Structure 1
Amino acid sequence: MIDNSSDDAIHVHRHGPLQLAGRVFYPVVIFILAVVAATMLYPERSAALFDALLGGVVHYFGWYYIFICAAFIGFCIWVGFSRFGTLRLGPDDSRPDFSRLSWYTMLFSAGIGIGVIFYGTAEPVAHFHNAPREFASETVAAARYAVHLTWMEWGACAFAIYIVVGLALGFATHRRGRPLTIRWGLEPLFGHWVRGWVGDLIDIVAMIGTVFGLATTLGLGVMQINTGLDYLGLFDASLDLRITLIALISLAAGVSVLTGLSRGIKWLSNLNILLAIVLLIWVLTLGPTLFILKGVTASVGYYFTHILQSSFETDFAQDSDQWQSYWTVFFWAWWIAWGPFVGTFLARISRGRTVREFTLGVLTVPTIGICIWFGTMGWAALEREMFGIGGLGDVAAQQVIFEYLAGLPLSFYSSLLAIVLIVTFFVTSADSGAFVLAVLSTGGLTRPPAATRAFWVILQGLVSIGLALAGGLSALQAASLVGGLPFSVVMILMCVAVVKSMQADLAAREPIR
């Protein structure tokens, strides 16, 4: 067993308070600054280049994304119900560090975050007005399929991806005493190679994908906060306001991440879920309550009837794969790009959980939460489009939720609640992301130095501000999705590696005959 404190094991060079794994840290920072600089200097060329790369990935590998995402769900179910389920992510006598409620709120806040507010009403409305494939737009069939498709894109697949990464890292770190970095999840396959340049390259790719993925998501969050404040008449939407918001929220994230997991991040995650429940009840109570309940109930049956076909649907019979590149495959690639970040964070907070609870719990409970959220918000918005005044399909995606809430009683307060919820999700994503980056850049220290955590909060904020100034958010978003392709191969290898490792542990349990 490797000692976590060993510099040789985790490649840490103790230069001052940062305690950096220099062979990983410096290439990552240099590459990030170079890409951001190029994006700021040549925003249009960068956007065109990365859009072309993303289009090529979707066109040639869209089928691959669809197939492996379904395979990851199957893998998680198989592992959860297999004999491996009794193993723990830690010694046999270990118990969880966090309550089950806090554990779920932290993984949900980190794994989905701002996206549920941004797309909760906007995506079902978009599918309703621009129905995919054989459905006629603005029909009952289109509405039913819109909610179904949203559930599929935001549910089990995303969390299956996080489980694969988190299981491999959690087993390696908590069960076998390895440092908490991506490379060690592949040790059962690569052996001593994970200590050298191969392991360095794996961690570098994971960290770059994490920074870019977070930067683009945080960019979406600031855009929506900016829109909401302008919609309420509190502040005029402007670039200066966006930059100010990034700075203030980065400051709040810095305070949260410096207080540690057991205080700042945990309590902020709990607050996220509480505020989300309040907004959900608000919409359910003041909106078309009976219609929402009927719609969600009908969607459950439709989901289980069509999920297998939908999960493997491709654009093979279409003239263009533009629709799928903008929706299904886009989200599959996005979840994989977020895999290193959320998987590492999930592994860190899951010590003491059994493999069965980890795989089946993370796969089902957050997915149910996703279905409740998108079902309620989606059917509420669709009722307005189908039988009310409509108009939600004519506004920008970040404005849809505020436009819908404006039609309910006490709209100012509900919109203000939505803005506060976006801010808390924003801060949670920023601080948990900075925590993971600090872990990876110190070679896997589960309690990275405060200075390292603060550095990554500051760098994330500067990257987001730079992209806001240059208008380069879309280019970096495309870049992060393209980067998810090679990491998907790492995930497949992780599945093999963790099964091999669990088999070895079970074999060691059996008495010698």
Structure 2
Amino acid sequence: MNESTMNKRVFLTSAVFIVLITICGSIWPSGIEQLFKGIQHWLITNTSWVYVLSVGIILFFSLWLMFSRMGDIKLGPDHSEPEYTNTSWFAMLFSAGMGIGLLFFGVAEPMMHFSSPPVGEGQTIEAAREAMKITFFHWGLHAWAIYATLGVILAYFCYRKELPLLPRSAFYPIIGDKIHGVLGDCVDIFAIIGTMFGVATSLGYGVTQVNAGLHYLFDLPQTGMIQVALIAGITLLATISVVLGLDGGIKKLSNINLFLALVLLVAVIILGDTVFLLKSYIQNTGAYLSDIIYKTFNLYAYEKKESWIGGWTLLYWGWWISWSPFVGMFIARISKGRTIREFMVGVVFVPAAFTFLWMSVFGNSAISLALQGKADKLIETVNTNVPVALFQFFEYLPGATFLSGLGVLLVMTFFISSSDSGSLVIDTLASGGEEEPPVWQRIFWAVLEGVVAATLLLAGGLGALQTMTIASAFPMIFMIMVALFAFIKSLRADYLLMSSVQNHSTTIQYTQASMGWKDRLKTLIDHPSEESARNFIKDIGLPAIEELAEELSNKDQIVEVNRGDESVDLTIKNLNVEDFHYSIRLREFMTPDYIDESQKSYWRAEVFLFSGGQHYDIFGYSKEQIIADAITQYEKHFHFLHVNNFEKV
């Protein structure tokens, strides 16, 4: 077993606090729920504008970021590549983000808005249009922009700036090394508690839908003990998945989720009114986009609909914000090597487009039945027993038993995905950002999730937990706004560095200017062996770096040289500003087919800076040329520091 990597202060404080709140929620469920409902009511009455304005800022920031010049910056070194295929990446972020919610509310929410719209008469054609626009609004770009914003911030500071994959890292540009102290611990503790209670609440409520489906299929009783047994089974499977790790468990399960979801979606499209559903999808999307600015800032101030917006829009914004540390961290964890633009487009638009299709298919199918006067029983079920609504809807389609069985299976796999990814994130938070913590720590958090959910389910304390989780979004708003400011500050400096490197001069032109044409041609067409490349590092690269380091030391520079079999690194430490890194590293490549050579691969001696690989080869350079190349890169670094300082004045 791996040595424990836990941050004891974060781990123990979080665990104790979670246990205490669970006990209080079990002993005094009504009292705790009323307390937090009072807090939530005050927040809705007095600070609804803060929620609405903040989510609007987050959405427009996301759109600006994906279309700005900053979008070219990679979440990692410049030479890094994505670890997962687009399909697996999308499947994992979708499963963690809101997959289960679509099953729970795919039929119920459109029907609720259709029956009781915030403005106007219910159960009309206009109410049907408005119901779909509101549903899209709650589950669309805003929700994914919240996740994407925190996710891109964490991925940037972790993989680009080599800070821990923790929420505290987002504040590094503002408080510096203090993130490694008590302040940083408090941020991570807050994130752990929010993630634990968010996942536990979803697990507790979601198991009622699993129970409802099994009751429909097999007449299984809908009792508390049955639901606790289901939680135990889901927790066991989630524990196995999280023990197998990201590649062995979570990725494979997420791919299964996506496949099952597509099967269910296509089945409903084929068995339902196919042409109408596809037409409504296009029309709903257009109507949503045409109203997006109005709805983003609509507080129903003139209609005096505080209770409606508090029970719907603000509840959703609070829920997405409270889940953002969990989902943002998980998305960041699986997104190394992607550009910021690729990340933002992938996280904001792709899941939203799928969500819109899902809501159109299930929501419009149910509303169409209601408009034809065939769904009185479904309307009653939606208003009285939301977990059963999906299975009640399937009764109106051919193959209801098959659809219900597939629905139950999908609910369970989505819950397992949420639980295992939640456990992975919590363990990372409690382990100081360690991506491969010991197995026992993962098991501890996975089991604790199930225990919290089961305990509060039996005691009737899930409502209190949900209300507390949503109320916790208010302080989280200000943390996200500060993190946004810090991110933009760091991103701007990164872009200045890229610009200075590209515009100041061209390294290859400088160093090769003093190289004869025969030497340049030889360097171009040679394909060195591993032995030749290693000898180059040892005999030329290392002496060049050491000579440069000695001269820098003589000029009172703080210099560090690190040697390896396949690399040599030079670091010039600059107090209070970014250090300069120059590294020569060997990289192996497959020999091109158009070259008739016996060796299967060849080696290059490439230059790496702090921002990553520079994609040019210096094999064949003399010692003087290597020193000249390093000085040129150092000159670019000085140019960046000058531009950065000038921009601040």
Bigger shift: 141-150 or 49-58?
A: 49-58
- 2:320 paired with 1:335: yes
Deviations 1:43-89 (A, max 9, x none): 11111111111111122121211111111111011111111111111
Give the drift of 1:17.
Answer: 4.7
Partner of 1:65: 51
Q: Which has the larger strand fraction?
A: 2
Alpha-carbon RMSD across the aligned residues, in angstroms, is 1.4
Alignment of 1:379-418 (within 5 A): 379-391=364-376, 392-395=378-381, 396-418=385-407
1:298 and 2:283 aligned = yes
Of the three residues 477, 487, 493, the one matched with 1:498 is: 487
How far residue 233 of structure 1 moved from its aligned partner, in angstroms, is: 3.2
Report the secondary structure of 2:218's partner residue. coil
Unaligned segments of structure 1, at least 5 residues: 1-13
Q: Distance in 1 between matches of 2:103 and 2:69?
A: 38
Q: TM-score, normalised by structure 2?
A: 0.75
- Structure 1 residues 326-335 or 295-304, which shifts more? 295-304
Q: For 1:135-175, what per-residue CA distance to the aligned partner results, in whole angstroms no more than 9, with x for missing partners?
A: 21111111111111111111111111111111111011111
1:36 maps onto 2:25 in alignment: no
Aligned residue for 2:476? 487
Paired letter, 1:236:
P
Out of 9, 26, 30, the position equivalent to 2:12 is: 26
Give the partner amino acid of 2:17.
F
Residue 438 of structure 2 corresponds to residue 445 of structure 1: no
Match of 2:124 among 136, 139, 146: 139
Aligned counterpart for 1:348 among listed residues 311, 333, 352: 333
* Residues 95 and 418 in structure 2, CA contact (< 8 A), matched pair in contact too: yes
1:113 CA drift (Å): 2.3
Structure 2 match to 1:317:
302
Q: Superposition pairs for residues 33-112 of structure 1, below 5 Å?
A: 33-112=19-98
Distance 2:495 2:280 in 1: 46
How far the C-alpha of 1:320 sits from its partner, in A, is 4.8
State the partner residue of 2:596.
none
Match of 1:11 in 2: none
Structure scoring higher RCO (CA < 8 A, sep ≥ 6) equals 1
User: Cα offset for 1:33?
Assistant: 0.8
Distance 1:183 1:318 in 2: 41
Deviation at 1:469, TM superposition (A): 1.1
Give the structure 2 partner of residue 284 of structure 1.
Answer: 269
Secondary structure, counterpart of 1:114 in structure 2: helix
For 1:232, what is the secondary structure of its paired residue? Answer: helix
Change (3 A) 1:85 1:320: closer
Specify the SS of the correspondent of 1:444.
Answer: coil
CA distance in 2, matches of 1:466, 1:220: 13
The reply to whether residue 235 of structure 1 matches residue 220 of structure 2 is: yes
The structure 2 residue matched to 1:130, chosen from 116, 123, 129, is: 116
Q: Which amino acid aligns with 2:58?
A: F
CA contact (8 A) 1:121 1:400 kept: yes
The aligned counterpart of 2:106 is 120
Take 2:284 and 2:169, find their aligned partners in 1: how far apart are those partners?
A: 41
Which digits, 9 at most, give the CA deviation of each residue in 1:341-387, with x for residues without a partner? Answer: 00000111000000110112211111101101111111011111111
2:254 touches 2:417 (CA, 8 Å); kept in 1? Answer: yes
- Greater C-alpha radius of gyration: 2
Give yes or no for contact 2:95–2:257 (8 Å, CA) kept in 1: yes
Q: C-alpha displacement at 1:232, in angstroms?
A: 2.0
Percent identity at matched positions?
A: 38
Deviation at 1:302, TM superposition (A): 1.4
Gaps of 5+ in 2: 505-635, 640-649
The TM-score with structure 1 as length reference comes to 0.95
Q: In structure 2, what is the Cα distance between the partners aligned to 1:373 and 1:210?
A: 26
Please tell me whether the aligned partners of residues 172 and 184 of structure 1 are also in contact (alpha carbons under 8 angstroms).
Answer: yes
Q: 1:121-146 CA deviation, whole Å, 9 max, x = no partner?
A: 1000000001112x211111111111
State whether structure 2 residue 213 is matched by structure 1 residue 213. no
Equivalent pairs counted in the alignment come to 498
Deviation at 1:508, TM superposition (A): 2.2
- Note if 1:194 corresponds to 2:183: no
Aligned with residue 160 of structure 2, among 172, 175, 178: 175
Q: How does 1:419-434 map to 2 (within 5 A)?
A: 419-434=408-423
CA distance in 2, matches of 1:97, 1:475: 40
Secondary structure of the equivalent of 1:315? Answer: coil
Q: Which residue of 1 aligns with 2:169?
A: 184
Range that drifts further, 80-89 or 240-249: 80-89
Contact 2:114 2:127 in 1 (8 A): yes
- Report the Cα offset of residue 18 of structure 1: 3.8
Contact 1:96 1:350 in 2 (8 A): yes
Measured in 1, the distance between the counterparts of 2:3 and 2:201 equals 29
**CA contact under 8 A between 1:167 and 1:498: conserved in structure 2?**
no
Alignment pair present for 1:470 and 2:459: yes
Supply the distance in 2 between the matched residues of 1:113 and 1:282 (Cα, whole angstroms). Answer: 18
